[in-house]
Amino acid sequence: MNGERGQGRWFRRSVLGLLIAGVLTGHLLVPVVHQVPHDLFIRLYYLPIALGGVWFGLWGGLGTAGLITLLYLPHILFVDHGNLTFGYLLEIPVFLGVGLLTGLIVERQAQYRRGLEAQAETLARSHRELQEQTRLLLEKETQLRRADRLSALGQLSAGLAHEIRNPLGAIKGAVEILEEDYPAGHPKAEFYAIILKEVKRLNDVVTNFLNFARPVAPHFAPVDVREVLTGLEGLISGQARAYRVQIFTSFHVGPARVMVDEALLKQAFLNIALNALEAMPDGGDLAISTRLADPATAGILDAEPRQEWVEAIFDDTGCGILEEHLGRVFDPFFTTKKDGTGLGLAITYRIIENHRGIIRVMSQPGKGTTFVITLPLEGAMQT
């Protein structure tokens, strides 16, 4: 680019030089007695002067006029031009004036153009920033709406669980009393055992559901995300083998400690990993990796510029998610599976949110899905 501009300059200088040389030669060769052609050559000096101004601005116009004056003056002074000498000398201030004016006008115009270009650039930048802010705001709004629905779900399920648990407690108590009438070995005693076992199972299911849906008080401690992921890999390796899914891990070198509730984070990662396995019933690859994140690309709107983030990435080669489903996968009860509850990702979403993190999903139907979880590195939890 600079080279091209340099070449252009040299080309213009050469043209200017040739033009001046040509006009000067004509001027010197045509004797003053042939006044019309002689004067024509003098007028022709204005051509390189104007060109100098147009091509090289103020100093180009003045410089060319000055150079022509230097070449022109000795000829006027030392060759006898009779009573025309004074008129020819007067031409010199006009040369300089034309050079000055052309240069000034061209520079003004260039300045004006540069101003317009700068304004256009500023406008374009503001437009881009505005677009980016709008996108982030829309994303935040979606997150807020989702959080709303999740807290409603939490309240609903807390009430529901309460309603179920109390009668379960009563059933259990009553069965325990009735059980005393049937000593061990009695044919009906085993029915009481079954009732108690099933009551306990129901109670566990409700408790688990409650723990998931209602925010439990997390116990934050500094944990290396890579260790959580390594633990997770061990946890799902058996199931992965059954699905004929190969797991690949690649972790970044450097800081990865985040303030988390390890059990909750593991739960969140497990939900994502299990979904990935379920999306690859005929086998495939699941790549689990970590990297340090840039807040801008992670869509962290109010991030401090110096805040550091770490990302955990789950990349599968499964069935992918249809575009019209992509915005709903974190919604409670959204499922495309016959026996899915649609709660896995809703819970995951809330866990990540409680850790002041962000979860994003990208997918190409038929090719695979990527979940990216961005978490603030240790030191970011206290604000």
Ligand X SMILES: Nc1ncnc2c1ncn2[C@@H]1O[C@H](COP(=O)(O)OP(=O)(O)OP(=O)(O)O)[C@@H](O)[C@H]1O
Q: Which residues bind ligand X (CB under 6 A)?
A: 271, 275-276, 279, 316, 318-321, 329, 334-337, 340-346, 369
Nearer to ligand X, 218 or 342 (CB): 342
Nearer to Mg ion, 344 or 368 (CB): 344
What's at 241, amino acid-wise?
Answer: R
* Residues forming beta bridges with residue 284, ordered by sequence position: 245
The tokens describing 339, both together, are 């026996």
Please enumerate in sequence order all residues whose Cβ is within 8 A of that of 49, keeping only pairs 6 or more positions apart, or say none.
61, 64, 65, 68, 95, 98, 99, 102
Nearer to ligand X, 225 or 279 (CB): 279
Q: How far is the CB of 260 from ligand X (least distance, A)?
A: 20
Instruction: Choose from Mg ion, ligand X, none: what does 369 bind? Cβ within 5-8 Å by kind.
Output: ligand X
Instruction: Choose from Mg ion, ligand X, none: what does 341 bind? Cβ within 5-8 Å by kind.
Output: ligand X
Question: Is residue 318 within the footprint of Mg ion (CB under 5 A)?
Answer: no
Orientation of helix 85-179 relative to helix 46-78, angle to 10°: 150
Closest C-alpha to 214, from 260, 164, 157: 157
Q: Which of 52, 99, 318, 344 binds Mg ion (CB under 5 A)?
A: 344
Q: Which residue has the tokens 């980016």?
A: 132
Give one DSSP letter per residue of 96-132, joined into a string: HHHHHHHHHHHHHHHHHHHHHHHHHHHHHHHHHHHHH
Instruction: Choose from Mg ion, ligand X, none: what does 329 bind? Cβ within 5-8 Å by kind.
Output: ligand X
The tokens describing 344, both together, are 């896995």
Supply the Cα-derived Rg of the chain in whole angstroms: 42
Q: How far is the CB of 271 from ligand X (least distance, A)?
A: 6
Instruction: Choose from ligand X, Mg ion, none: what does 335 bind? Cβ within 5-8 Å by kind.
Output: ligand X
Q: How far is CA 99 from CA 25, 65, 225, in A?
A: 21, 6, 71
Nearer to ligand X, 312 or 345 (CB): 345
Question: Is residue 363 within the footprint of Mg ion (CB under 5 A)?
Answer: no
Residue 312 dihedral angles phi and psi, to the nearest 5°: -110, 130
Instruction: Choose from ligand X, Mg ion, none: what does 97 bind? Cβ within 5-8 Å by kind.
Output: none
Choose the stretch contacting Mg ion; rule: CB under 5 A; options: 3-11, 71-79, 272-280, 322-330.
272-280
Name the residue number minimizing CB distance to Mg ion.
Answer: 344
Instruction: Choose from Mg ion, ligand X, none: what does 60 bind? Cβ within 5-8 Å by kind.
Output: none
Q: How far is the CB of 158 from ligand X (least distance, A)?
A: 19
The tokens describing 380, both together, are 């970011």
Q: How far is the CB of 353 from ligand X (least distance, A)?
A: 15
Q: How far is the CB of 242 from Mg ion (least distance, A)?
A: 16
Q: How far is the CB of 289 from ligand X (least distance, A)?
A: 15
Q: How far is the CB of 141 from ligand X (least distance, A)?
A: 21
**In this structure, are residues 381 and 260 in contact, taking their beta carbons and an 8 Å threshold?**
no
3-state secondary structure of 366: coil
Nearer to Mg ion, 185 or 238 (CB): 238
Q: How far is the CB of 323 from ligand X (least distance, A)?
A: 12
The tokens describing 173, both together, are 């108590």
Closest C-alpha to 95, from 37, 44, 151, 137: 44
